Amino acid sequence: MSEKALPFSAWHEDDWSVLWWTFPVAEPPYVGSPLDSDWPFSEEDYQSLGWTPLDVPDPPVGMPLSVYLNPDQRLTPAETKLGQGLACRHGWTRDTR
């Protein structure tokens, strides 16, 4: 199934890291955000850029579904996706990683 890419202008910092495609597609996508220090694109590239969400899969069968920060604090699998649960639980923003 093909997913429609969104234009560069639709990206917001709340989207975090996504897959950035240069059209026409001739190479694998860049994974990251325009806030990355190694952002490889210039403003001239923005017209040919599109992005799709970076979907994080569930772990393989048999892999532990929890991440332990310490013995008293346990995160659910949903909370561990892209670190969002950790950020939400502690009130951190993306800038304090």
Long-range contacts of range 14-19, CB-CB < 8 Å, 24 or more positions apart? 15/51, 15/53, 16/54, 16/82, 16/94, 17/54, 17/82, 18/51, 18/52, 18/53, 18/54, 19/51, 19/52, 19/53, 19/54
The whole-number pLDDT of residue 76 equals: 54
Domain residue limits at 87:
58-91
Q: What is the mean pLDDT of the chain?
A: 75
pLDDT of 47-89, one tens digit each? 999 999 988 777 777 766 555 444 555 555 555 554 544 444 4
Report yes or no on 49 lying in a domain.
yes
Are 67 and 42 members of one domain? Answer: no
Does residue 72 fall inside a structural domain? yes
Number of domains in the chain: 2
Residue 97 counted as domain residue: no
Judgement on whether residues 46 and 63 belong to the same structural domain of the protein? no
Mean pLDDT of 10-27: 94
For residue 26, tell me if it sits in a domain.
Answer: yes
- In this predicted structure, the answer to whether residue 92 has a pLDDT above a threshold of 80 is no
